[in-house]
Amino acid sequence: MTSTPTRHIKAAVVRQKGGPFEIDTLRLEEPRPDEILVRVVATGMCHTDMVARDQLYTVPMPVVLGHEGAGVVELVGSHVKKLRPGDHVVLTYMWCGHCKPCLNGDLTYCANFYALNFGGAREDGSTATYDARGSVHDHFFGQSSFGTFTLAHERNAVKVPTTAPLELLGPLGCGIQTGAGAVMNALKVGPGSSFAAFGGGAVGLSAVMAARVAGATTIIAADVVPSRLALAKELGATHTVNSRETDPVEAVRKITGGGADFSLESSGRPAVLRQAIDALAIRGTCGIVGAPALGTEASFDVNGVMTAGKRIIGIIEGDSVPDLFIPSLVELHQQGRFPFDKLVKFYDLDQINQAAEDSEKGITIKPIVRLAQSAG
């Protein structure tokens, strides 16, 4: 147990591989000097939450997951400079700030990324959350926001305008910025180019919206769910391909006259990655953002990649610098140019297992779990 002052919160805890999420009353420490206490208004549910729940990525249990939080700053530690109580924030991934990639500005490739985001504790190994039996692992992505209150570091909290709809903004912290950033920051899709999204979930559809903003003139969405393909057209896709009915590689080549300048694989399936690579034009680039189980391997035609000068790049969190990129996405949304609200459906905290099930079945593209009404 701890002698540090604590407060009671409600949170969803995963206690065993595969879940379920169990709603429990926990105790949460007050913030340390470099931390902030956030009253969580709502949290997006991401594929990575289920990856951790099911132990495809090893995360210590019991654990409070949740990594797309949005809320209001309640308290700030004595060393916090960029935020103050009352600020609206989106919580995002955590980085250490002192390794070589961080010092180079490559925050998403932090040398300590896995430990800080999947280690279930602060960088010093401590936790801040407790139940009647003792410590509960937290600090998932530096936040563990499936709770009515959470602690975050000032590094992974991004101030957003109070004029923006706060309960909607949490997914910008991971899934939405991953898809949009892959297009805008990593692939650097430009005006007049062709882009193909392999996978029509939240990440893929965010990439479609970003490609439209970036000025791509041919935007292709490939998926197996007709409703997702219809939504892709609404969000900016010029063409859609049902991969269950049509060979997507042949379809992309036909639509583009030889292959796409850029492709993005977001399903996490090796066979789909191969399609995304094969569908590229000469000198085309394929970005990988899908997260399969650790150790998953994929194959491609070496000569097909080499002789066509193709590139394959891994992308984490959209190569985003969150303090700059997330406010830009908020502004684009407020201008009506990035309508990611069309992806979401809201659930209450006690419906979190239904939200997970609906997400895995493809019923809901981006669930958002409301927590504000449970706060206290």
Residue 3: the pLDDT is: 52
pTM score of the predicted model: 0.95
How far, in Å, are 95, 154, 189 from residue 325 at the CA level? Answer: 16, 16, 16
What's the rounded Cα separation, in Å, for the pair 349 and 351? 5
Residue pair 171/344 in contact (Cβ under 8 Å)? The answer is yes
pLDDT at 313: 98
Contact 359, 347 (CB under 8 A): no
Q: Name residues whose C-beta falls within 8 Å of residue 148's C-beta, 6 or more positions apart in sequence.
A: 9, 10, 11, 39, 40, 349, 371, 372, 374, 375, 376
pLDDT in tens, 120-173: 999 999 999 999 999 999 999 999 999 999 999 999 999 999 999 999 999 999
pLDDT at residue number 1: 41
Low-confidence ranges of the chain (pLDDT < 70): 1-3, 373-376
Alpha helices in the chain (DSSP H): 47-53, 100-103, 113-118, 166-169, 175-181, 202-214, 226-235, 248-256, 270-278, 302-307, 322-334, 352-361
C-alpha to C-alpha distance for 206 and 125, rounded to whole angstroms: 34
* 315-367 residue pLDDT tens: 999 999 999 999 999 999 999 999 999 999 999 999 999 999 999 998 999 99
Which single residue is written with the structure tokens 């991004």?
Answer: 158
